[in-house]
């Protein structure tokens, strides 16, 4: 295997079921483990024996998960190493498709086991609930439909990723064009924005074709599973036991009533500072005082040591966790040639340790990313004593509370990177970004609710529904002359195409993070100890209990959102642009 950034790390607890030496890239070595697991439950005579079986199953799942993570990390850290790529693809193509039906079989055996109801109720209720759901929703006839869905998703990604424009004599990807929207020169911003919008519009029919087919497939999948619409199916499939479509509708209403007016006020102020009568779509990302981008650090070492100091201001345990990651070399943060783009946090499921990957180049965005990913890493460290593998993966709505909270709390100490006025500028950008994202999440979520509850809609109906939503949740931006671009704006939102309904999670989590921040303003030590306690629960409790442990309400209606928005608005008035 290709060298990893870290040295080989032993399992958190010694293996007791998986052999010490086993080639986890060889299915013929893995299959016997599943054979043994399948054969054992009929002999389990007591709940304790069944629990012991669950832990052996957990050990296999963790070993396979860590093997996949290590291969992924090796590949993304060295994209030019063809061996690393081959090793990862081998796992994805040869091991995972064989493991998946075997995992499903174990879930079926567990759900049917007569001793299941005798397991300690509180300890296992979430596991039982999730495992039953997995078994209940499975339909053999949906397997080929899901493959077709995955293929279409790939077509969307390929099409999106292939788009480039010629800008000032150079070919640029649409992602690369993003930075020109931050240029003080307004004509240049407009040129860059139009190029990208027109490039996407040229493919509009293709995006619509892909989407029509996806909607058709999804409706069929839902019907096969006994649902009359895909929205209701997706809510089950995503394991949304603790909130309903009606709760999401309340979230949309709260965003419209509480957040959109604040966004409009901020945009009016932005227009005033830029000296513009009306804002156009290319005027939203530039610094309103035309200052150059913030420069938080030169070297990645500085980013790490300053982030370390931020955690020391916050909490001793968190600081120790981040220090341990440095000692074990679980950070690969600097941008360099031969590294995959983006950033992520991955967990080594057997070592029960987190790893953070980034491409830091010295921007404020890098500071936000390291604080965010460190929050995910603290979550992984906090669950390391949990032996049930499934409970070491908390639900996404709460994972993002862990990470977004670290952005908000960490931002209080940005003077480790900046002078006081620069730190305030970074905080202001962050808070404005949070409000804008809420409005975008509501738009995307409400659109998906409309799509899947209006079967047989035409493309024109769909466009009409989208435009109505952009008016409802959009700011005071003048789109005249660009109606077509506005009508197809949703084509750029990957989730609508490839992870249907998965997006509101970020809004739910941000409400949790803002509540932890509000608590910290009253009593930082208390807020942080609740935060850490909630992280330790991993995925072992339902969402409302995870939120409660962190000191938050699990609720997305106006009474919860209004005071949080008021806090952000008050904070913004203290931060000069």
Residues that bind Zn ion (CB under 5 A): 403
With DSSP H G I counted as helix, E B as strand and the rest as coil, what are the percentages for the chain, rounded to 5?
70, 5, 25
* 565: nearest Cα among 262, 253, 256: 262
Cβ closest to Zn ion, residue 68 vs residue 403: 403
* CB closer to Zn ion, 261 vs 433: 433
* Residue with smaller CB distance to Zn ion, 404 or 444: 404
- Return the SS3 of 390: helix
Q: How far apart are the first and last CA of the chain?
A: 50
Nearer of residues 149 and 505 to Zn ion, judged by Cβ: 505
Give the nearest distance from C-beta 376 to Zn ion in angstroms: 6
Question: Judged by CB, which is closer to Zn ion: 255, or 509?
Answer: 509
To Zn ion, the closest distance from the beta carbon of 369 in angstroms equals 9
Least distance in Å: CB of 509 to Zn ion?
8
8 A C-beta contact, residue 347 and residue 70: no
Answer yes or no: are the C-beta atoms of 370 and 333 closer than 8 Å.
yes
Query: Shortest gap between Cβ of 392 and Zn ion (angstroms)?
Result: 16
Q: Is the dihedral angle over the CA atoms 70, 76, 82, 85 positive or is it negative? A: positive
Cβ 399 to Zn ion, closest distance in Å?
7
Angle between helices 245-254 and 420-452 (to 10 degrees): 130
Of 403 and 411, the one with the shorter C-beta distance to Zn ion is 403
d(CA 307, CA 12): 26
State the nearest-atom distance from the C-beta of 245 to Zn ion, in Å.
Answer: 24
> What is the C-alpha separation between 142 and 420, in angstroms, rounded?
57
Q: Are 246 and 253 in contact (CB under 8 A)?
A: no
- What phi, psi does 328 have (nearest 5°)? -85, 5
Q: CA 31 to CA 552: how far, in whole Å?
A: 44
In the bound complex, what is the minimum distance in angstroms from residue 506's beta carbon to Zn ion?
A: 8
Minimum CB–partner distance for residue 91 and Zn ion (Å): 24
DSSP letters along 207-233, please? HHHHHHHHHHHHHHHHHHTT-SSHHHH
Task: Give whichever of 407 and 416 is closer to Zn ion, judged by the CB atom.
Answer: 407
Nearer to Zn ion, 2 or 345 (CB): 345
If the CB atoms of residues 358 and 572 are measured against Zn ion, the closer one turns out to be: 358
Indicate the helix (H) or strand (E) that contains 355: strand 353-360
- Residue 360 or 451 with smaller CB distance to Zn ion: 360
Count H helices, E strands: the chain?
Answer: 24, 5
- Strand order of the β-sheet with 344-348 is 331-334, 353-360, 344-348
Find out whether 355 and 381 touch, Cβ atoms under 8 Å.
no
Q: Cβ(116)–Cβ(47) under 8 Å?
A: no
For residues 204 and 488, the answer to whether their CB atoms sit within 8 Å is yes
Q: Which is nearer to Zn ion, 307 or 403 (CB)?
A: 403
Rounded least distance, CB 305 to Zn ion, Å: 23
- Residue nearest to Zn ion according to CB distances in the complex: 403
In angstroms, give the least distance from the CB of 79 to Zn ion: 23
Report in angstroms how near the CB of residue 163 gets to Zn ion at its nearest: 26
Q: How far is CA 412 from CA 360, 370, 424, in A?
A: 21, 15, 9
| Location of structure tokens 């989730």 | 495
């Amino acid at each position: 295997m290709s060298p990893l950034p870290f040295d080989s790390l032993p399992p958190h607890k010694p293996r007791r079921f998986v052999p010490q030496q086993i080639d986890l890239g060889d299915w013929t070595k893995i299959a016997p483990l599943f054979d043994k697991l399948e054969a054992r439950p009929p002999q389990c005579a007591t709940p304790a024996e069944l629990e012991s079986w669950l832990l052996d199953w957990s050990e296999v799942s963790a070993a396979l998960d860590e093997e996949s993570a290590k291969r992924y990390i090796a590949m993304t850290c060295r994209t030019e190493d063809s061996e690393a790529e081959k090793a990862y693809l081998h796992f994805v193509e040869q091991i995972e498709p064989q493991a998946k039906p075997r995992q499903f079989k174990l879930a079926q055996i567990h759900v049917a086991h007569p001793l299941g109801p005798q397991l300690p109720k509180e300890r296992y209720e979430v596991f039982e609930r999730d495992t039953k759901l997995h078994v209940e929703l499975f339909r053999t006839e949906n397997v080929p439909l899901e493959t077709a869905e995955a293929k279409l998703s790939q077509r969307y990604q390929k099409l999106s990723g292939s788009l480039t424009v010629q800008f000032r004599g150079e070919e640029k990807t649409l992602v690369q064009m993003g930075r020109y929207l931050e240029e003080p020169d307004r004509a240049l911003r407009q040129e860059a924005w139009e190029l990208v919008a027109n490039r996407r519009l040229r493919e509009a029919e293709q995006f619509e074709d892909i989407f029509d087919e996806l909607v058709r497939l999804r409706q069929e999948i839902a019907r096969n599973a006994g649902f009359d619409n895909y929205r209701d199916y997706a809510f089950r499939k995503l394991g949304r036991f603790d909130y309903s479509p009606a709760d999401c509708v309340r979230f949309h209403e709260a965003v419209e009533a509480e957040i959109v007016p604040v966004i409009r006020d901020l945009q009016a102020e932005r227009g005033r500072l830029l000296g513009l009568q009306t804002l156009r779509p290319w005027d939203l990302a530039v610094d309103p005082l035309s200052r150059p981008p913030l420069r938080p650090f030169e070297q990645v070492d500085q980013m790490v040591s300053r982030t370390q100091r931020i955690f020391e201001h916050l909490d001793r345990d968190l600081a120790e966790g981040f220090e341990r990651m440095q000692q074990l070399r679980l950070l690969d943060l600097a941008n360099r040639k031969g590294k995959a783009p983006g950033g992520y946090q991955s967990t080594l499921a057997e070592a029960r340790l987190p790893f953070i990957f980034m491409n830091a180049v010295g921007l404020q965005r890098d500071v936000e990313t390291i604080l965010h990913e460190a929050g995910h890493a603290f979550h992984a460290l906090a669950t390391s004593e949990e032996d049930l593998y499934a409970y070491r993966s908390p639900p996404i709505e709460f994972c993002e509370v862990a990470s977004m909270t670290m952005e908000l709390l960490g931002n209080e100490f940005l003077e480790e990177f900046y002078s006081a006025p620069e730190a305030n500028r970074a905080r202001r950008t962050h808070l404005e970004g949070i409000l804008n994202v809420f409005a975008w999440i509501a738009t995307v979520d409400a659109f998906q609710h409309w799509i899947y509850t209006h079967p047989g809609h035409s493309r024109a109906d769909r466009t009409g529904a989208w435009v109505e939503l952009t008016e409802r949740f959009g700011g005071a931006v003048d789109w005249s002359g660009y109606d077509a671009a506005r009508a197809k704006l949703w084509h750029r939102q990957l989730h609508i195409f490839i992870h249907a309904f998965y997006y509101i999670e970020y809004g739910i989590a941000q409400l949790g993070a803002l509540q932890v921040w509000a608590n910290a303003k009253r009593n930082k030590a208390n807020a942080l100890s609740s935060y850490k306690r909630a992280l330790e629960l991993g995925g072992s409790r339902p969402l409302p209990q995870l939120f409660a442990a962190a000191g938050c309400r699990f609720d997305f209606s106006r009474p919860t959102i209004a005071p949080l928005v008021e806090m952000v608005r008050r904070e913004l008035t203290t931060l000069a642009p």
